[in-house]
């Protein structure tokens, strides 16, 4: 029963992504769905892979380490939550992309660890577009300096930007935040270093991912919308 509900939810989320992309004159296949598994058990994570989900996301490095070991299958893993430097070395070999690089210090540390591990990780700079004190990330006016500094890195490839909109029951209120991130990314891309292609925009979660897609998201991070009607651990 859980699997049937999960399949229905997944199909509905994919339909909503495709519909939002059409509204914006985009191809829905250009939007990557990262299924956020932080609140669900390993069996559901495995079922997602079996249903064709190719990207899974975790907020906590320790949970990513655990699930990465126990949940086998052809998928890419994303760290979407904060990363402390003391957890970087163990995390880097396990992920396809880190969405939450929120300081130059962390970016440089990731590069040094990647050199030692002989890796070429993909990363996104987290930008605090809304200016909320509780959120991590670079201020928009700091982003250009960060991108210029990233040009000196040997291993880390900065593929784009990430943001989180303020929570609001009305998704439309997130639109200015998503539009601002897209505009910032477009401006930075014009003269970005070669190791910073800035082709990815990770924005939009269960409550507002359709608006994010309309504003140019290439990655949406969806959790609770996939698991409605499914009992999950608290």
Q: Is the pLDDT of residue 234 over 70?
A: no
Which stretches within the chain are classed as H helix?
Answer: 2-23, 42-50, 61-70, 88-91, 104-117, 143-150, 175-189, 209-214
Per-residue pLDDT band at 143 (split at 50, 70, 90): very high
For the stretch 27-58, pLDDT in tens is 999 999 999 999 899 999 999 999 999 999 99
Q: For residue 133, what are the contacts with CB-CB under 8 A and spacing of at least 6?
A: none
pLDDT at residue 170 is higher than 60 = yes
- Report how far apart, in Å, the C-alpha atoms of 82 and of each of 39, 100, 188 are: 16, 6, 23
Q: What is the pTM of this model?
A: 0.95
CA dist 1 and 5 (Å) reads 6
* Pick from 3-7, 8-12, 105-109, 230-234: least confident: 230-234
pLDDT above 70 for 127? yes
Structure confidence by residue, pLDDT tens digits, 200-212: 999 999 999 999 9
SS3 231: coil
Spatial distance between the Cα atoms of 203 and 31, rounded to a whole number of angstroms: 11
For the chain, counts of helices (H) and of strands (E): 8, 8
Q: Cα–Cα distance between 175 and 88 in angstroms, integer?
A: 32
* pLDDT recorded at residue 233: 54
Q: In 3-state terms, what secondary structure has residue 134?
A: coil
65-102 pLDDT, tens digit per residue, is 999 999 988 999 999 999 999 999 999 999 999 999 99
Q: How confident is the model at residue 219 (pLDDT cuts 50, 70, 90)?
A: very high
Question: What domains are there in the chain, each with its CATH number?
Answer: 2-224 (3.20.20.10)
Contact 40, 66 (CB under 8 A): no
Mean of all residue pLDDT scores within the chain: 95
C-beta atoms surrounding 113 within 10 Å: 20
pLDDT of 134 strictly over 80: no
């Amino acid at each position: 029963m859980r699997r049937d509900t999960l399949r229905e939810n997944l199909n509905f989320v994919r339909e909503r992504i495709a519909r939002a992309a059409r509204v914006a004159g985009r191809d829905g296949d250009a939007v990557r769905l990262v299924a956020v598994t932080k609140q669900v058990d390993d069996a559901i994570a495995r079922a997602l892979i079996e249903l064709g989900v190719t990207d899974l996301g975790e907020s906590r490095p320790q949970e990513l380490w655990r699930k990465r070991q126990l949940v086998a299958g052809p998928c890419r893993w994303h760290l979407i939550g904060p990363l402390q430097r003391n957890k970087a070395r163990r995390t880097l070999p396990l992920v396809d992309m880190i969405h939450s690089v929120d300081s130059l210090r962390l970016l440089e540390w990731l590069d040094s660890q990647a050199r030692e591990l002989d890796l070429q990780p993909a990363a996104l700079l987290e930008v605090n577009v809304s200016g909320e004190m509780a959120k991590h990330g670079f201020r928009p006016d700091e982003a250009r300096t960060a991108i210029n500094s990233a040009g000196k890195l040997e291993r880390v490839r900065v593929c784009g930007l990430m943001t989180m909109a303020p929570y609001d029951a009305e998704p439309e209120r997130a639109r200015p935040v998503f539009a601002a991130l897209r505009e910032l990314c477009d401006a930075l891309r014009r003269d970005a270093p070669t190791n910073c292609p800035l082709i990815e925009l990770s924005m939009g979660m269960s409550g507002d991912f359709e608006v994010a897609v309309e504003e140019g998201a290439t990655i949406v991070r969806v959790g609770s919308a996939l698991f409605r009607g499914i009992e999950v651990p608290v």
